[in-house]
Amino acid sequence: MDAHATNAYSGEIFDLWDTYKKVVVKDLMFHAALSADVERALRARFQGGDFSLLDLGCGDAQVFAPILRRIPPASYKGVDLSDTALALAAENLKSLPCPVQLEHGDMLSALSGSETYDVIHSSFVLHHLATEDKAEFFRRAARALAPRGVLLLVDTMREENETRADYLKHYFEWIEKDWETLSRAEKDAVYEHVSTSDYPEPLSLLERQAREAGLTRLAADIPHRWHHLMRFVRA
């Protein structure tokens, strides 16, 4: 296990935001397929919508907003460390037919209250937390899930036999080969960000942490390289 002190995320991805938008638009990290997986998971559990939703590390909500327009929640709360992201999220979510609350804050703190949610969603955020904080995330998420609730976790995960160093090497080799639409400078900025801020875990570790927190993983989705959707319900 890779030891590191605490949340490796510095709080502002926004020097990289234009590059991240390019990655999303060109679908380099499989956002389209993962979004379809998320929409399917929501429909499987809530058919017409009408669920309370907490979105941790919502960013600008650009990817999630169209799904939520098709299957509207009863309420949406988004939490992020970046005010810039939250301002963009307000714009992207303004046509949702439900109350929208956006809060500046940390994902763990957002789970420390007594409120419960039918859906807790977090996409490409958990890998920023230290290993022990990820375990705390699952404990808090289990407490904050309503009885029929579901936790939808989209994130990068390393292969079972990959150390973090292996993962970085393989991930960067893949970017070098397949992310043709990014310039040299953009790729280098991604490498810098991922090397300093990303601590993906093997799926089995996350599954164990979730199980110990009282969550059961629903049947596996098909991964898109290192990019997964994991779905959990209360045991």
Nearest to residue 166, comparing CAs of 202, 133, 137, 134?
202
Count of residues touching ligand SAM (by CB under 6 A): 19
Strand 100-104 and strand 75-80: the pairing is parallel
Residues paired with 75 in a beta bridge? 52
Q: How far apart are CA 120 and CA 231, in angstroms?
A: 10
CB closer to ligand SAM, 106 vs 118? 106
Query: Which x/- pattern, by CB under 6 A, does the window 116-155 give for ligand SAM?
Result: -------xxx--x---------------------------
CB of 227 to ligand SAM, least distance (A): 11
Tell me which of 30, 42, 65, 82 binds ligand SAM, using CB under 6 A. 82
Pure H helices in the chain? 17-25, 31-46, 64-70, 83-92, 107-110, 131-144, 164-178, 184-197, 203-212
CB of 139 to ligand SAM, least distance (A): 16
Phi, psi angles (nearest 5°) of residue 173: -60, -40
Tell me which of 13, 93, 157, 213 binds ligand SAM, using CB under 6 A. 13
Q: Which residues bind ligand SAM (CB under 6 A)?
A: 7, 9, 13, 20, 57-59, 63, 79-82, 85, 106-107, 123-125, 128
